[in-house]
Structure 1
Amino acid sequence: MSTLRLSDADNVVTAVTALAVGDEGAIQPIPRGHKIATRSIAKGEAVLKYAQIIGYAAEDIAAGEHVHTHNLEFRNVDAEYEFSTNLRPVTPVDVPDTFMGYRRATGRVGTRNYIAVLTSVNCSATAARMIAQHFTPEILADYPNIDGVVAFVHGTGCAMGGDGTGFEFLQRTLWGYARNPNVGGVLLAGLGCEMMQIDWLIEAYGLTPGPLFQTMNIQDVGGLRKTVDLGIAKITAMLPEVNKAKREECPASELMVALQCGGSDAWSGITANPAVGYACDLLVAQGGTGVLAETPEIYGAEHLLTARAANREVGDKLVDLIRWWEDYTERNRGSMDNNPSPGNKKGGLTTILEKSLGAAAKGGTTPLNGVYRYAEQVTAKGFTFMDSPGYDPASVTGQIASGCNLVVFTTGRGSAFGSKPSPTLKVATNTEMYNRMVDDMDVNAGRILTDGASVEEVGREIYQAWLRMASGEQSKSEAQGLGDYEFVPWQVGAVM
């Protein structure tokens, strides 16, 4: 098989291997993963892949010609949305799957047991890192039920509007990490004079300081060194209590998985993303939750999700997000087609419409039961959506703040990503990259192309890996220590 046709309606196919002139009717060389026209396409005519529009011919395109950025143009979406017209019922399982997790006093279940050192502002970032770095593996060896002490620091928290969107995002993110079920204890460190006041955060979200939720400000304590010493003492006092947490058998319905992709290529929407979608369907059947994000990366595919909206209210929320992003990019003199990245394009993707159609496949086929703002707590079960940018670290940060206790991340170009406190499972879209980066990839969805594996088979492999990872098995990114620098709250609004 040299080319792959995804729908009879398509007027392009994808080259499975690099094509020379004459191969499969090619009239010019076609790189692996790139598109080739199967018939002549007139200037202005829609180009179809997945039986959906991925762009418009910028010039006349001959049969056998390479279809890519030089002759395919983007246009903003102008869709007539249908709502709740493609609702597939979910059949609950008779016998639920289980994993070994940490059941918290809130009733929610964690897959890890971390102590988090959170910062209200960049000015306390160094103190937080110094505190966390004190707790070496040698010290934590006496507390086997604690996965680590991690500093979650960021570059904002001051010089920001006190009532703006960015302020709300940061507040929700800090609160979401503090109450994520993978966190057993929290130390929140500030400077004292910043815009993001710790007292405001506590008041806004009803947080209650106690033995496992401690706060401090550098200015009140008396400087950096004293703050680091006090922070170390506070966490040292937490260790025995946090270590009391024990894993117990919990139903798979307690899993909330962040559905993420990055470093995508042409195979993302053909192998890994559909396989993750199948795994999401399996989880939803168990009563669990999948959280799709990256609003710019469903642009052009959102009509497929509104058709799956459980009701009109859910569908309208998604459309409102799309309209916000169109306005946001226009105000900032950008374009929704600024994404895909150069690496995405080298891998065969051309427009955001094409990328989105593949990215949306991570959400499977079940009804869309909820749409949430960035870092907002996800309360609905089943398949849901959270607003975020397409920048992976910022998106995953929001998903973890929303309550996700696991992350799955598909990649075609190869992405060195990991996350804490919720671990990341990496899924490769193609076998070539999997073999090249085998130390980073957990699952090879490229087998769908190279070995004849089915999407369902790889999807079950991913789902079973979630259960094992939720029970404590380390993913490859986790084992390599990734996640200490991937906390990136989405910063929106003026910096003043």
Structure 2
Amino acid sequence: MSTAIAAHAAIRLHPNDDVIIATRQLVSGTRIETEDLVVTGLIPPGHKIATRAIAKGEPVKRYNQIIGVAREAIARGQHVHTHNLSMAEFAREHEFGVDTHPTAAAHEPAHFMGIRRADGRVATRNYIGILTSVNCSATVARAIADHFRRDVHPQELAAFPNVDGVIALTHGLGCGVDLRGEGMAILQRTLAGYAAHPNFASVLFVGLGCETNQIGGVLESGGLADNTAKLRSFTIQDSGGTRKTIERGIGMVRDMLADANRAVREKVSASHLMVGLQCGGSDGYSGISANPALGAAVDRLVQHGGTAILSETPEVYGAEHLLTRRAVSREVGEKLLARIAWWQDYCARNGAALDNNPSAGNKVGGLTTILEKSLGAVAKGGTTNLVDVYEYAQPICAKGFVFMDSPGYDPMSATGQVASGANLICFTTGRGSAYGCAPSPSLKLATNTALWERQEEDIDINCGGVIDGTASIDQLGADIFQMMLDCASGTRSKSELHGYGQNEFVPWQVGVVT
């Protein structure tokens, strides 16, 4: 016997959709009054319910876009997921610029309390950074940074309250790769981007000495000067070994502290914000709540002259045609399609496929195919024009909504965004994420209230009210934008309070290791 249930049991996203989304766990026999249908079988929260009979091989729509084809006949009211829906290639018309529109400037300018650097760029944090050219120098770099931990030697930073800390960003690369190859170019571009990042008052670069990735090559690739007040470098081999290197590094950092402490926050325009957009541990609600709410905040940021960076190229695959429609020129749209083509070739030559997504957790949360995941993911980018497309870790100079090529792996993608200049990260999650980013702070947004209640210590804002009808996308967008300004002004994010950030530095490795 069917039983009527309360409102907000399911969400329809578009009149033409073949599915609706359950807002709670639904049992067989439950009647959804808004659709006049009866549920058949158990439907987990965030999962899809067929609103019509779908024949085997027929395309299925969500967001008024194809998300896959039926593997078998699907009855009205039945659960739609991996058991009866599969990925399918289909032709997508890539139109260019047909959805572009002028972006009106905000009526009242927004500001935050930032740190203005000598070159005019604005920082949201004030760290001293220790970077490594190769994995072989990672241990000494961490030892130098650990010496300045406030819980280890509090006296070291006691006289420097304006310094947020000393952090070491290490990696597992730097040797055994082609010096002239794509992998080395990406690594050097990433390291150079961090060395020049405004959130570092100064940087110490530590190498081994004999590695392929010589520090001089990194600095040359980024047009950076060595042995200045802002950037110094040396190697373990030149210093005489581990102990002497650590002692030398500690001394160099001490020399940098006084200058770093002179940084003061001042009122600056929100146009100085460059925000990297990330989603990880996505679920069936991501494209309904947190992602579009972040998109609404991005629209506000762009109206105030700021920059937002969408990335994770494999996770816009299947939705790229929506982005080309927003491209300010055919050239910009073609640049995006060129990155998609690169990924298709990259996967083919490595025996992989772009439809190997979603992850196991994504599927438990209700996402079935990469097409469905991508359509929800692009909502983070809001509605303004796509003004340019960049390669991984390439310096971003444009204002507005841009795209930076990257893998879908969150730490690797965010690493590239920070190298490109992002001074803040916003990260949506539906399954729960334990992630932070340094030197740029990271804000996390929950897609559903159950996650917020379970993992509130890790999440900065709950977007679950969209699902139960207690909050609107627009209001959450305003709240998220204000949270961006507050965090950029120095308010610490939850991940910062937990100490996340140093272990999440993960440059993208694409080259052959020999």
The TM-score with structure 2 as length reference comes to 0.95
The answer on 1:19 being equivalent to 2:26 is: yes
- 2:23·2:468 contact (CA, 8 Å) conserved in 1? no
Distance 2:309 2:119 in 1: 21
Residue number in structure 2 paired with 1:141: 158
Distance 1:391 1:13 in 2: 28
Comparing 281-290 and 19-28, the one that deviates more: 19-28
Equivalent position amino acid for 1:4 in 2 = I
- Find 1:400's aligned residue among 418, 421, 424: 418
Shift in Å at residue 224 of structure 1?
1.0
- 1:294·1:387 contact (CA, 8 Å) conserved in 2? yes
Comparing 289-298 and 14-23, the one that deviates more: 14-23
Residue number in structure 2 paired with 1:121: 134
The answer on 1:449 being equivalent to 2:462 is: no
Shift in Å at residue 449 of structure 1?
1.8
Shift in Å at residue 16 of structure 1?
1.1
The answer on 1:105 being equivalent to 2:105 is: no
The answer on 1:94 being equivalent to 2:78 is: no
SS in 2 for 1:439: helix
Residue number in structure 2 paired with 1:79: 92
Distance 1:481 1:200 in 2: 32
Provide, for residues 96-128 of structure 1, a one-character-per-residue CA deviation record: whole Å limited to 9, x for no partner.
Answer: 111111111111100000011000000000010
Shift in Å at residue 28 of structure 1?
1.5
Residue number in structure 2 paired with 1:204: 221
Alignment of 1:465-480 (within 5 A): 465-480=483-498
- 2:189·2:221 contact (CA, 8 Å) conserved in 1? no
Distance 1:47 1:68 in 2: 11
Comparing 408-417 and 87-96, the one that deviates more: 87-96
Residue number in structure 1 paired with 2:172: 155
Shift in Å at residue 71 of structure 1?
1.2
Residue number in structure 1 paired with 2:501: 483
Distance 2:425 2:333 in 1: 25
- 2:358·2:373 contact (CA, 8 Å) conserved in 1? yes
Equivalent position amino acid for 1:478 in 2 = E
The answer on 1:175 being equivalent to 2:188 is: no
Residue number in structure 1 paired with 2:265: 247
- Find 1:440's aligned residue among 458, 462, 469: 458
Equivalent position amino acid for 2:233 in 1 = T
The answer on 1:350 being equivalent to 2:368 is: yes
- 1:88·1:365 contact (CA, 8 Å) conserved in 2? no
Distance 1:343 1:8 in 2: 28
Provide, for residues 84-105 of structure 1, a one-character-per-residue CA deviation record: whole Å limited to 9, x for no partner.
Answer: 0001210012331111111111
Distance 1:203 1:88 in 2: 40
Alignment of 1:284-363 (within 5 A): 284-363=302-381
Distance 1:243 1:167 in 2: 34
Comparing 96-105 and 68-77, the one that deviates more: 68-77
SS in 2 for 1:185: strand
Distance 1:194 1:75 in 2: 45
The answer on 1:270 being equivalent to 2:288 is: yes
Distance 2:43 2:218 in 1: 55
Distance 2:106 2:477 in 1: 17
Provide, for residues 9-35 of structure 1, a one-character-per-residue CA deviation record: whole Å limited to 9, x for no partner.
Answer: 111111111111111312211111111
Residue number in structure 2 paired with 1:4: 11
**Gap change, CA 1:193 and 1:362, over 3 Å in 2:** same
The TM-score with structure 1 as length reference comes to 0.99
Shift in Å at residue 55 of structure 1?
0.6
Distance 1:148 1:42 in 2: 60
Shift in Å at residue 418 of structure 1?
0.6
Distance 2:89 2:190 in 1: 31
- 2:114·2:123 contact (CA, 8 Å) conserved in 1? yes
Distance 2:354 2:278 in 1: 19
Distance 1:279 1:298 in 2: 20
- 1:115·1:150 contact (CA, 8 Å) conserved in 2? yes
Distance 1:126 1:228 in 2: 9
- 1:397·1:489 contact (CA, 8 Å) conserved in 2? yes
Shift in Å at residue 425 of structure 1?
0.6
- 2:184·2:213 contact (CA, 8 Å) conserved in 1? yes
- 1:99·1:250 contact (CA, 8 Å) conserved in 2? yes
Distance 1:410 1:27 in 2: 31
Provide, for residues 351-397 of structure 1, a one-character-per-residue CA deviation record: whole Å limited to 9, x for no partner.
Answer: 01000001000000000001000000111100000000000000000
Distance 1:95 1:54 in 2: 40
- 1:77·1:300 contact (CA, 8 Å) conserved in 2? no
Comparing 284-293 and 203-212, the one that deviates more: 203-212
The answer on 1:59 being equivalent to 2:86 is: no
How many pairs were matched up?
Answer: 496
Distance 2:134 2:174 in 1: 4
Residue number in structure 2 paired with 1:48: 61
Report runs of 4+ in structure 1 exceeding 6 Å deviation: none
Distance 1:204 1:327 in 2: 27
Distance 1:202 1:382 in 2: 28
Distance 2:408 2:221 in 1: 28
- Find 2:41's aligned residue among 16, 25, 28: 28
Comparing 136-145 and 264-273, the one that deviates more: 136-145
Residue number in structure 1 paired with 2:441: 423
Shift in Å at residue 476 of structure 1?
0.8
Residue number in structure 1 paired with 2:5: none
RMSD between superposed Cα atoms in Å = 0.9
Distance 2:68 2:159 in 1: 58
Distance 1:103 1:204 in 2: 25
Structure 1: stretches of 5+ with no match in the other structure: none
Provide, for residues 210-241 of structure 1, a one-character-per-residue CA deviation record: whole Å limited to 9, x for no partner.
Answer: 12201001111111111111111111000001
**Gap change, CA 1:423 and 1:77, over 3 Å in 2:** farther
% identical aligned pairs = 57
